[in-house]
Structure formats: structure tokens, C-alpha cells
């Protein structure tokens, strides 16, 4: 999981991490873990993330798709769609874009809800 933090944050904070692959973030010193990761794991329970998922659910309803039909379009199980829509599973960025494409909505429009 710390690898995820390293990869994601290196996209946004180039040069803030040790040049050798480590889990030490220079924002908070060399204390052996990155507190950015702690912030990231809380996003699934954040009101903004819930608002984004609610927007996706509304888009699915507007398009007239059932959970099963959307799952078929995404080539995933209907259980996975249900878990995403019930905030039990978090979408990564790539999955979010695919989800939006399946619903024919602009991913940027949903991201504006996170401001």
C-alpha cells in the first residue's frame, strides 16, 4: 500500500521523495511511513467521495442502466458495481474514467464535485 502512496504522490510532488525507492516522505520527515497514505485511505468515507459516487449512481439511473447492465458494459461483476455504489469499494482513477465512459458522462464534470 505504501508503494501506491509513493507512485501517486510522485506524480504530484516530484522530488519530494528519496531518490531511492523508500516509503519516507520528506513532507513529514523520516519517520518510517507516509502520512499521505493515512489520508488516502479515508477518502472512501469522505462526503466528497460519497457525492461523486452519488453522481455516478444518478448518471446510471438517468441512462436507464441496471447494475447488471452497467457491470456487463464494464466487464466486471454486478457485485463489484454494487460495492462501488454502496461505498464499500473505492474506484481508482482509471476505473473512474471507464465508469464514466460506460455511462456517457464527462469524468471532468464529476471531478468538479470534489472541489
**Helix-, strand-, coil-residue percentages of the chain, each rounded to 5:** 65, 0, 35
Lowest mean pLDDT among 30-34, 39-43, 97-101: 30-34
For the chain, list the domains and their CATH numbers.
2-41 (no CATH), 44-114 (1.10.260.40)
Contacts of 91 (CB under 8 A, 6+ apart): 53, 84, 99
Contacts of 8 (CB under 8 A, 6+ apart): 40
- Comparing 46 with 63, which gets the higher pLDDT? 63
Task: Look at the block and give the residue holding cell 516530484.
Answer: 14
List beta partners, residue 25.
17
pTM: 0.65
What are the φ/ψ torsions at residue 17 (nearest 5 degrees)?
-110, 160
Statement: residue 17 has pLDDT above 50: no
> Which of 46, 63, 61 minimizes the C-alpha distance to 113?
46
How far apart CA 37 and CA 6 sit, in angstroms, is: 9
pLDDT band at 34 (very low <50, low <70, confident <90, very high): low
Interval 35-45: pLDDT, tens:
555 555 467 78
Statement: residue 100 has pLDDT above 90: yes
Q: Which helix (H) or strand (E) holds 93?
A: helix 93-103
Statement: residue 70 has pLDDT above 80: yes
- Per-residue pLDDT, 45: 83
Statement: residue 8 has pLDDT above 80: no
What are the φ/ψ torsions at residue 9 (nearest 5 degrees)?
-70, -30
Amino acid at each position: 500500500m505504501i508503494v501506491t502512496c509513493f507512485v501517486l504522490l510522485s506524480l504530484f510532488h516530484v522530488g519530494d521523495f528519496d531518490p531511492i525507492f523508500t516509503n519516507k516522505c520528506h513532507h513529514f520527515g523520516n519517520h518510517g511511513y507516509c502520512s499521505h497514505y493515512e489520508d488516502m485511505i479515508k477518502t472512501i468515507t469522505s462526503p466528497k467521495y460519497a457525492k461523486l459516487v452519488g453522481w455516478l449512481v444518478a448518471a446510471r439511473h438517468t441512462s436507464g442502466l441496471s447494475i447488471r447492465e452497467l457491470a456487463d458494459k464494464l466487464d466486471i461483476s454486478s457485485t463489484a458495481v454494487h460495492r462501488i455504489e454502496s461505498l464499500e469499494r473505492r474506484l481508482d482513477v482509471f476505473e473512474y474514467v471507464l465508469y464514466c465512459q460506460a455511462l456517457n458522462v464527462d469524468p471532468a464534470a464529476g471531478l468538479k464535485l470534489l472541489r
